Structure 1
Amino acid sequence: MFSAPAWVPDLPFEPPNNITIGEFIWSSKHGRRPAATSRSPFTCGLTGKSFTVTQAPQRINFLARGLAQVLKVEPNKGLSLDKVIAIFSPNTIDYIPLILGIHRIGGIVTPASASHSPSELEYQLKKTGATAIFTCVPLLSTAKKAAEQCGITHDKIFIMDFPGVVNTTSHISLEKLVSIGEELPDLEALNWPKGEGARRAAFICMSSGTSGLPKACVISHYNVIANVLATATYEKGARSHFKFGTQVTLGLLPMSHIYGLVTVALCATYQGDELIVLPKFTIDTFLDAIQRFKIRRLYVAPPIIIQMLWNRDNCLKHDLSSVASIHTGGAPLYAETAEQLLKMYPNWHLGQGYGMTETATLICTTSEHDIYLGSSGSLLPGIRAKVIGSDGKEIFTYETPGELFVQSPSIIPGYLGNGRADEETFVWDDDGRWIKTGDEVVIRKGPSGNEHIVIVDRIKELIKVKGFQVPPAELEAHLLTHVAVQDCAVIPVPDESAGERPKAFIVKKPSGVGSVDDEELARQISLYVQNHKASHKWLKGGIEFVNEVPKSPSGKILRRVLMDLERKRRAREGPRL
């Protein structure tokens, strides 16, 4: 069994289990950095509009009052599941205040990806039982189509401000709710009894699994509070080592995803950091925001690092000297890609973290003062892990692959209305309740002597070649170092002699192709892999050039989509020789 390394401090106190997330992150009595030394919590990276540390809690309070009146709800009456409210919007500086306002009236938030189609949004609204929806003008058409199929009426669709877009609709705006609430008295206090924070759902988030329909994860207030406290406690080591108290943090990753929501936004707020909020990624707005607001920490997904490598000249034209730390998550970042970025910015501390929706985010992460490229860092305080081999026995040795099992106070109670998934995911033994992550890992000692967790790949997506396991992510990381490869994904395809072989789907980089035709380019790329990898990892399943690689909003490659397409094509055409 593995736990946090010796340098990681223990939790300073037990995570409180009788308060909301909002009460926890805004109150200095629960360890938050005092308001006098805090920055403005939320600043728009496009317009510069900001909410100060005084304005933000006040706005949450006004918003809760207005929302309670318009929806005709009372905080301490009715079931929480009768007050599920969806947020279908890109990031804005009102995203977190809105969430905490909904919690203040005893409601539950289901955050929906801004990339959803009407049918995908409809599925989430029905699955979670949402009774109202907040959206923005650019997404209103999609929201209305989905809402209509779910019985959500016109008066239950609200509009959030969006930079550069004027709300000319007849729907009530979030700003209107704030102005209504400003004229109303304070709401009745929630006053939860002990244990209520663990029983009360704060979020119903859709898991980002790549097979089957998404599952609805019920995440309690206690789960999130425990993870925020663990993350903040872990980060004290780096803040003390590098002698900084607060920092300016990039809030680009979607807050509809658990990584952007908890690890980035809520953790930054609790630690007194300033969050520079961007609604979406473009290389120019990304670089401009860093330069303008002197951002110290960048939270990104690996595809953004790839974009930086492609746009090297543009990056180097901007003043990014404020950046000290870049942290990746949502998908594995392999050492080869990391090393390329560090050639551009050798002074940056580059690390990554690993977590799940089902664990209210972080399980392990990299400290700025204990970096080991290729690993996902060390376990957070309060988290225990074990590695289980394919034979079902626990592994106690380093460098031996197996499935990661985790025990943590941030593990969710379960899935909404999906007992079968609960039984498959959560297991009990003499040491308590564990989650089977479905990820293959190895435990490795870093140069510092501390134990680091290295994520190999999803167990279900490992390619089996003559008994050897081939991690698709490893090949993808290597292919991205080829001058002609802009993006890629690797999947298994059936093979009579080997069982399976790796096949690569590749997006060509226009500047790296020249006049070479596809057949010759595929030959060159195959040879590039053969020159660097063992023979069972060669791309004998073939190479196919595509226009784009399907990905989730967090940057995770949706290999299952490609596997389904490949299966259908083979059924129709047979294997390509």
Structure 2
Amino acid sequence: MVFYPPPWVPKLPFDPPDSITIGEFMRTEVYGRQPIAKSRNPYTCGITGKTFTTAESFERTEDLAKALAKTMGWEPNVDSPWDKVIGVFSFNTIDYIPVLQAVHRLSGIASPANIAYSAEELEHQLKSSGAKALFTCMPVLETALKAAKGAGIPEDKVFIMDLAYHSQKPTFKTVDDLIALGRSLPELEHLRWTKGQGARQVAYLCYSSGTSGLPKAVMISHRNVIANVMQYCFYESVGRKKAGVDTQVELGLLPFSHIYGLVVVAHSGAWRGDEVIILPKFELNEYLQAIERFKINHLLVVPPIIIRMLSAKDVCKKYDLSSVRLLFSGAAPTGKETVEELLRLYPTWKVGQGYGMTESATVVCTTSEDDIVQGTSGSLAPATRAKVIDQEGKEITDYNTPGELLIQSPSVVLGYLNNERATAEAFIYDEDGRWLKTGDEVIVTKSPLGNEHFTIVDRLKELIKVKGHQVAPAELEAHLLTHPAVDDCAVISVPDDRDGEVPKAFVVTPASMSSRKDEDMRAEILKHVQNHKAHYKWLKGGIEFIDIIPKSPSGKILRRLLRDREREARRKNGSKL
């Protein structure tokens, strides 16, 4: 049984263009964007208020492209895109998207990196992507320089994103320096793309663990992003029109290195003429101050932010949040009880959820303002088809029956860079074509209005999601095994009030360590992870020493048995999680 968007969901007015860059799509009204004259300033710093008009933002992108061409020796229509790759390792700034689109203007590729990465993790991404330059910011410069050196990027190819609220003066070239250089340079020649090049050519290399294994570079084409911006915006246009909303102010807190922040917030917001209020990271008072100061209407968040608001109700009450009309949560499911508690605090808000993944770049289904069913992730986006299959691969045709979600969409990505095996494992082919295997278990239900809604029941894949960030157990296990006190190990997720999920390790110690105290070994192993991994990968769920790691005859770790063991232990301890 193939599932489709509800009848009320508008069809895309035309096929997403396949021969232009994302930047051209964003700045050309012919493709359906909000008229520039009616658009708000696309990106505004939520701390200083610094901003640029839409036209100024486009000019900065063009000047950046000219400066990159001069500094890097790149030309728009010369050499392969793989010779023109930049890494971006920075907090959100108002120039983040212009930097990304500047390299696209030269027919290059951008690879955004998680700001929480350690130097070793960033170095891996820079090497894997083939980055020739790195844009970063002062608070993480030390990490960036160490990674750049390891990846062979010279210091004169490291550029600084301007954080107006950061007082330390950089000694490296800044984005503003590059823009000043670009203004003095001649115009670039136009890109000469062939038919279908936008569908074939990679725009972003974003890193994901897919359905299992270590992080892999997901090849996201220009058309993938263009398609999803259209899908998400046309879906949302129905509710906005009924609410009398033309343009609005939305929150730009989610990291633009994450596919949710990159496509749903940064690109979709600007394309429909909204103003995106940029915050570098979540700090409760700054977040609340920004909502009050800029009268933000649309909050795009992750579940831990909702949980933090609920745990700090007295703080929230000190701020005027009456401008908010819609809160959208993604990256991980938000429980029905959590949403209901939030609505008791803010009864006039509409709260919805959506579902997507890096490999679908981004939105697969989302919630309409007119058809909210708490606990579900809403209905399919335009031009999206879905199937649900059981463990034997047979199609499920009944509602309320769990199975793995398969999807087709023009936003589904090209595959994984230099990893044919992982790409092959991510897709399945049948008489209806090529389907992305999400690795997520869902049930399909009907809302009171008769629309099909998708609820994410559980992840079939082994990923752990900490505040929406993906953590691969295999990566942590490989690192743990380098410690002398670890003979064998397995990592699972355990529930956490603040972060949603956190990693927990089960460790088998070697006989040579039998005389050592568990407390001492536990402290050493925890420190071993903290010294080398991003903070969201730390073993906040703890370490439990056991005699043997359960495995199948083929050697596969049976994490399901460990999760069952953990649930039973928590039940006996009276935990509600």
Once the two structures are superposed, the pairs formed by residues 406-485 of structure 1 within 5 Å of their partners are 406-461=407-462, 476=495, 480=497
* Letter of the 2:318 counterpart: K
Which residue number corresponds to residue 468 of structure 1?
Answer: none
**SS class of match (1:3):** coil
Listed one character per residue, the Cα deviations across residues 323-364 of structure 1 (whole Å, up to 9, x for unaligned) are: 000001111111011111111011111011110101111000
Which residue number corresponds to residue 33 of structure 1?
Answer: 34
Do the aligned partners of 1:330 and 1:554 also contact (CA within 8 Å) in 2? Answer: no
Distance 1:123 1:210 in 2: 20
Do the aligned partners of 2:118 and 2:534 also contact (CA within 8 Å) in 1? Answer: no
Distance 2:25 2:388 in 1: 33
Q: 1:493 to 1:115 in 2, by over 3 A?
A: closer
Superposed CA RMSD: 2.8
* Letter of the 2:427 counterpart: F
Listed one character per residue, the Cα deviations across residues 13-71 of structure 1 (whole Å, up to 9, x for unaligned) are: 11000000010011111101111111111100000000111211111111111111111
**SS class of match (2:365):** strand
Distance 1:449 1:368 in 2: 15
Once the two structures are superposed, the pairs formed by residues 68-217 of structure 1 within 5 Å of their partners are 68-166=69-167, 168-208=169-209, 211-217=212-218
Once the two structures are superposed, the pairs formed by residues 221-236 of structure 1 within 5 Å of their partners are 221-236=222-237
* Letter of the 1:324 counterpart: R
Listed one character per residue, the Cα deviations across residues 538-569 of structure 1 (whole Å, up to 9, x for unaligned) are: xxxxxxxx99x99xx999x879x679x75765
Listed one character per residue, the Cα deviations across residues 63-116 of structure 1 (whole Å, up to 9, x for unaligned) are: 111111111110100000111100000100010111111110111000001100
Shift of the alpha carbon at 1:170? 3.1
Distance 1:17 1:487 in 2: 39
Which residue number corresponds to residue 281 of structure 2?
Answer: 280
**SS class of match (2:219):** strand
Distance 2:34 2:221 in 1: 24
State how many pairs are aligned.
503
Which residue number corresponds to residue 57 of structure 2?
Answer: 56
**SS class of match (1:54):** helix
Q: 1:62 to 1:426 in 2, by over 3 A?
A: same
Distance 2:360 2:261 in 1: 14
Which residue number corresponds to residue 292 of structure 1?
Answer: 293
* Letter of the 1:14 counterpart: D
Distance 1:487 1:30 in 2: 39
Listed one character per residue, the Cα deviations across residues 212-242 of structure 1 (whole Å, up to 9, x for unaligned) are: 3101101000110011111111111111111
* Letter of the 2:83 counterpart: D
Which residue number corresponds to residue 330 of structure 1?
Answer: 331
Shift of the alpha carbon at 1:489? 3.9
Q: 1:412 to 1:210 in 2, by over 3 A?
A: closer
Q: 1:424 to 1:276 in 2, by over 3 A?
A: same
Do the aligned partners of 2:212 and 2:461 also contact (CA within 8 Å) in 1? Answer: no
Q: 1:570 to 1:379 in 2, by over 3 A?
A: farther
Distance 2:65 2:85 in 1: 14
Distance 1:570 1:95 in 2: 49
Which residue number corresponds to residue 536 of structure 1?
Answer: none
Sequence identity (%): 52
* Letter of the 1:421 counterpart: A
Distance 1:441 1:554 in 2: 30
Do the aligned partners of 1:444 and 1:451 also contact (CA within 8 Å) in 2? Answer: yes
Shift of the alpha carbon at 1:487? 5.5
Shift of the alpha carbon at 1:165? 2.1
**SS class of match (1:317):** coil
Q: 1:209 to 1:391 in 2, by over 3 A?
A: closer
Once the two structures are superposed, the pairs formed by residues 513-552 of structure 1 within 5 Å of their partners are none
Do the aligned partners of 2:211 and 2:462 also contact (CA within 8 Å) in 1? Answer: no
Which residue number corresponds to residue 8 of structure 1?
Answer: 9
Which residue number corresponds to residue 518 of structure 1?
Answer: none
Q: 1:554 to 1:2 in 2, by over 3 A?
A: farther
Which residue number corresponds to residue 343 of structure 1?
Answer: 344
Distance 1:570 1:489 in 2: 25
Q: 1:266 to 1:420 in 2, by over 3 A?
A: same
> Any gaps of 5 or more consecutive residues in structure 2?
465-491, 507-525, 550-561, 570-577
Distance 1:48 1:401 in 2: 47
* Letter of the 1:134 counterpart: F
Distance 2:400 2:128 in 1: 41
Distance 1:180 1:246 in 2: 34
Do the aligned partners of 1:461 and 1:491 also contact (CA within 8 Å) in 2? Answer: no
Q: 1:422 to 1:562 in 2, by over 3 A?
A: farther
Task: State the TM-score, normalizing by the size of structure 1.
Answer: 0.83
Which residue number corresponds to residue 499 of structure 1?
Answer: none
Distance 2:457 2:245 in 1: 33
Distance 1:569 1:39 in 2: 58
Which residue number corresponds to residue 254 of structure 2?
Answer: 253
Which residue number corresponds to residue 43 of structure 1?
Answer: 44
Which residue number corresponds to residue 269 of structure 1?
Answer: 270
Q: 1:355 to 1:554 in 2, by over 3 A?
A: farther
* Letter of the 1:50 counterpart: T
Distance 2:382 2:201 in 1: 24
Listed one character per residue, the Cα deviations across residues 467-494 of structure 1 (whole Å, up to 9, x for unaligned) are: xxxxx99x94xx85xxxxx566488999
Do the aligned partners of 1:399 and 1:444 also contact (CA within 8 Å) in 2? Answer: yes
* Letter of the 1:306 counterpart: I
Do the aligned partners of 2:212 and 2:462 also contact (CA within 8 Å) in 1? Answer: no
Q: 1:554 to 1:427 in 2, by over 3 A?
A: farther
Distance 2:124 2:503 in 1: 28
Distance 2:215 2:235 in 1: 31
Distance 1:393 1:554 in 2: 40
Distance 2:82 2:271 in 1: 27
**SS class of match (2:122):** helix
Listed one character per residue, the Cα deviations across residues 98-151 of structure 1 (whole Å, up to 9, x for unaligned) are: 111111011100000110000000110111111110001111110110111111
Do the aligned partners of 2:137 and 2:163 also contact (CA within 8 Å) in 1? Answer: yes
Task: State the TM-score, normalizing by the size of structure 2.
Answer: 0.83
Distance 1:460 1:66 in 2: 43
**SS class of match (2:286):** helix
Distance 1:438 1:562 in 2: 25
* Letter of the 2:384 counterpart: I
Q: 1:270 to 1:305 in 2, by over 3 A?
A: same
Do the aligned partners of 1:12 and 1:233 also contact (CA within 8 Å) in 2? Answer: no
Q: 1:210 to 1:163 in 2, by over 3 A?
A: farther
Shift of the alpha carbon at 1:412? 0.8
* Letter of the 2:202 counterpart: A
Distance 1:443 1:490 in 2: 28
Q: 1:11 to 1:373 in 2, by over 3 A?
A: same
Distance 1:129 1:206 in 2: 13
Which residue number corresponds to residue 243 of structure 1?
Answer: 244
* Letter of the 1:131 counterpart: K
Do the aligned partners of 2:129 and 2:205 also contact (CA within 8 Å) in 1? Answer: yes
Do the aligned partners of 1:301 and 1:554 also contact (CA within 8 Å) in 2? Answer: no
Shift of the alpha carbon at 1:462? 11
Which residue number corresponds to residue 405 of structure 2?
Answer: 404
Which residue number corresponds to residue 512 of structure 1?
Answer: none
Once the two structures are superposed, the pairs formed by residues 311-390 of structure 1 within 5 Å of their partners are 311-390=312-391
* Letter of the 1:382 counterpart: A
Q: 1:251 to 1:493 in 2, by over 3 A?
A: closer
Distance 1:554 1:430 in 2: 43
